Amino acid sequence: MPALLKLLGNARAFLKALPAGPQRVHFALGNESCDLDSCIGALAMGVLISRRHPDRVVVPVMNVTRENFALRTENCFVLTQAEVPLDGLIFRDELDMDFILSKYPVSVSLVDHHILAKEDQKLAPYVEDIFDHRPVDTSYSWDARKVTICIESVGSCCTLIANCLLQARNCSDLGRPLAYLLYQVIVYDTIALKPQNHKATALDIEVAAKLETLYGFNEDHQELFDGLWRAHMDVSHLTPSQLLLKDLKLVEGVYIPGLPMLVEEFLGLEGSQEALADFAKLKQISALLLVGMSTSGGSVQRDLAVYSSPPKEPLAEALLKTLLSKQADFFLEEKPSKFGANIHLLHLHNVQVSRKQLVPLVKEAWNDYTKRQ
């Protein structure tokens, strides 16, 4: 995919030299979990911006450290298959953002998120575009006169970016390799585009169909999803501590690890309790929310666990109380925990509920907790 590889090469050369001059630097910034949607979305957004503004130095940013990116097994698999060199990617820990902001005019596109992390709040004045598919966080508002906002409830953020690219005048130059990256993510995020999985929206299906028609993609959706899910699940080389970091999100003061297995299965792994205790100590936290998912046999299962260190910490109690207040909506079932008093396990019978639907509840619990402190 010449356009993407050229873009990455130019970005790395610029960041290495940091030449004097008036060049505008544009960051396409994915979210902090750097899941497949965020990773490919940031790269595709970089291509979109470079076409709109060929005079800019466009830098797609993987919003994790280079070391932790290796834990995103599906990302590494998809990019390697597409012959995108992993050592050519640009990671958040490799950027001296303060220096760049002081030396160059800067603009930013947010991909797969619309709220900046605390350490990135300094980028807020430079945000030009937002592409996201999670529920709108009303705690922060953007000036629609200055920021182009595309936030829609679809299965994949890559659906929104692909749709924008397809509507561009030069969409014929998208190229099959980049189109296939976007297509794979849409199929993956919507769990094979099957209506019974309640992830695919009309727009996801429409954009996937357009890509199939334009580029001749004819793989069976389930087979494509299964291959990507196997890559995601290829965690045999990861320790329980690494599994907690593989797909990690921070909401307010609550860490939410997304696991490539049911939480109950994770808790049965040797060393999982020690990993949770070490994580809590490292992050200096008293509670976290674990979110698990399995697609064994083609059916989706989800579960949750509230971890408290030590047991019955106020934040853990606030999380549990808020979750159980939605017991009827989410079809939550409390399960007896054989893993100790500091683990509260919940089976999530409403498989439509993913981590992004839990974010408002986590915020509610956090607010309740902080008011009581």
68 Cβ contact list (under 8 Å, min separation 6): 34, 245
Mean per-residue pLDDT, 178-184: 97
Q: What's the residue count for the chain?
A: 373
Cis, bond preceding 105 (omega within 30 deg of 0): no
pLDDT at residue 372, as a whole number: 84
Whole-structure pTM value: 0.82
Residue 282 near residue 316 (C-beta atoms within 8 A):
no
The whole-angstrom separation of Cα 373 and Cα 361 is 19
Q: How many CB atoms lie under 10 A from the CB of residue 131?
A: 28
The whole-angstrom separation of Cα 16 and Cα 1 is 23
**Which tens digits make up the pLDDT trace of 225-277?**
999 999 998 888 899 999 999 888 888 889 999 999 999 999 999 999 999 99
Q: Retrieve residue 310's tokens.
A: 């030590």
Q: Retrieve residue 213's tokens.
A: 């028609």
Q: Retrieve residue 142's tokens.
A: 């953007």
DSSP count for the chain of H helices, then E strands: 15, 11
Whose tokens are 């099959």? That residue is 176
Residue 318 near residue 366 (C-beta atoms within 8 A):
yes
Residue 188 near residue 228 (C-beta atoms within 8 A):
yes
The whole-angstrom separation of Cα 84 and Cα 198 is 32
Which of 97-101, 168-172, 205-209 is predicted least confidently? 168-172
